[in-house]
Amino acid sequence: MVFVRNAENLWVRVRERLSQRLRGTRFEKLGRWGYERFLVLVPARLLGETERRTRGYDSATVEIAKRILTRDSGYVDAGANRGKLLEIFHRLAPCGAGYAFEPIPALAEQLRKRFPNVCVMDVALSDYEGREILRWLVDDAGNSSLRVRKDREAGHEVREVEVRVARLDDVVAEADRIALLKVDVEDVELEVLSGATRILTQDRPVVIVECASAKLKALTELLNGFGYAVLRLDEYLLGERRQRADLVERAIADGEFYFCAVATN
């Protein structure tokens, strides 16, 4: 436990120090790219818990995408951030209708330049249409949220940015059938899925979602209501398609917060 805690603290300090030193310089993008590539080479046992789980989530998501997406498949990346997974989706489905949602304007603009064939929107998804304040963690953009989360914000520069809020059903064309829906939206996943009634009902996409264990019961009830079974990523990859009764209890015990949902009918 001491080793794990020390490893976690080490990578947090390295990431924050690198971000602070390079922020606003011409080397910022290069430094971020180099750090991400470096982490791929580090043995898992030397990573902190957060970095290790993120690596496992990314690799599982990629494997699921490979099984689902074809050249013409439609997909949605809700919470695209810097486009690490979007790049994979686009490569697997180059002729499909691709949608990426990233509410931080600067990141959305970078994605537009990298993926001109993807519909990139600087929109925060939820279950209503309007305007909202996004709390942007400048040196940890992936943890930016519409929610005030003091534990995640501690030690970070937080900027308040007014962003457009929209329902997924309203910004994805009805003619574009969605095969894969990835949702990583930092504490508003229930609202995002509540705003995707048409997509979940008609398109029946496979859903990959990050969800804290405290909200998992509500998430499973929501998706069960649409005729979906909720599984852990490893269960899906092993061929399981039936939701286990003890899903929530096991997720809490294991600290799991990445899940896959599949239509059962």
| Enclosing domain of residue 19 | 1-47
The reported pLDDT for the residue numbered 2 is: 41
In this structure, the answer to whether residues 37 and 107 fall within a common structural domain is no
In this structure, the answer to whether residues 117 and 235 fall within a common structural domain is yes
Residue 22 has pLDDT above 90, yes or no: no
State both tokens at 142. 């992936």
In this structure, the answer to whether residues 190 and 87 fall within a common structural domain is yes
Are 239 and 227 in contact by the 8 Å Cβ rule? The answer is no
Backbone phi, psi, residue 114, to 5°? -75, -35
As a whole number of angstroms, the distance between CA 88 and CA 106 comes to 21
Q: How large is the average pLDDT for residues 11-37?
A: 61
Which H or E run includes 255?
Answer: none
In this structure, the answer to whether residues 119 and 2 fall within a common structural domain is no
In this structure, the answer to whether residues 72 and 180 fall within a common structural domain is yes
The reported pLDDT for the residue numbered 113 is: 95
Are 59 and 39 in contact by the 8 Å Cβ rule? The answer is no
Residue 249 has pLDDT above 90, yes or no: yes
In this structure, the answer to whether residues 104 and 186 fall within a common structural domain is yes
Residue 226 has pLDDT above 70, yes or no: yes
Q: How many domains does the chain have?
A: 2
In this structure, the answer to whether residues 8 and 97 fall within a common structural domain is no
Half-sphere exposure of 103 (CA within 13 A, CB side): 30
In this structure, the answer to whether residues 185 and 90 fall within a common structural domain is yes
**Residue 137 maps to a domain:** no
Cα–Cα distances in Å, from 215 out to 101, 102, 112, 188? 22, 22, 32, 10
For the domain that residue 224 is a member of, what is the CATH number? 3.40.50.150
pLDDT tens by residue, 57-70? 888 999 999 999 99
Q: Specify the pTM.
A: 0.79
**Residue 200 maps to a domain:** yes
In this structure, the answer to whether residues 216 and 103 fall within a common structural domain is yes
pLDDT band at residue 37 using 50, 70 and 90 as cut-offs: low
**Residue 135 maps to a domain:** no
**Residue 23 maps to a domain:** yes
